[in-house]
Amino acid sequence: MIYRVLITDEALARIREQARYIAVESQAPQNARRWLDRVLAAADTLERMPRHCRRAPEEALRPFVIRALNIDGYLLLFTIDDESRTVLVLTARHGRQRPRPKDLPE
C-alpha cells in the first residue's frame, strides 16, 4: 500500500530551524543542505512502509499512535491514517530532546 506523506508547517519549521543551525552555528552550509536533503528523502520513504518505524515516547501523551523516524539522531514524529492512506509528519526534534507535548495536536 502506498501512502501520501504530508509534512505539517510545524514539522517543516523545525526541520528548517535545524538546517539553519547546522549552516550558521556549525558554519557548514553545504552540510546543512545535504542534511536537509537526507531528512526530506527519508520522509518520502514513509510512503511505502511507515510501520517499520518504532513507536515514539510521545505516544503516551496522546490517544493515537505516534511513530518516530530516526535520521542521524533527529526524529520525525508522525501518525498514519489508513483510511485516507496518509502519513502525517506532526513535528520533529533531536533525539536527545525530551518529548514536547505542546508540539503535538490533541
Return the CATH number at 91.
3.30.2310.20
Question: What's the total number of domains in the chain?
Answer: 1
pLDDT in tens, 31-61: 999 999 999 999 999 999 999 999 998 888 8
The boundaries of the domain holding residue 49 are 4-103
Is residue 53 within 8 A of residue 72, CB to CB? The reply is no
57 in helix, strand or coil?
Answer: helix
C-alpha cell at position 65: 499512535
pTM strictly above 0.85 = yes
- At how many degrees (to 10) do helices 29-45 and 9-24 cross? 150
**Closest alpha carbon to 88 in 53, 47, 27:** 47
Q: What is the pLDDT of residues 80-103, one digit of tens each?
A: 999 999 999 999 998 787 766 666
Q: CA-CA distance, 28 to 20, in Å (whole number)? A: 9
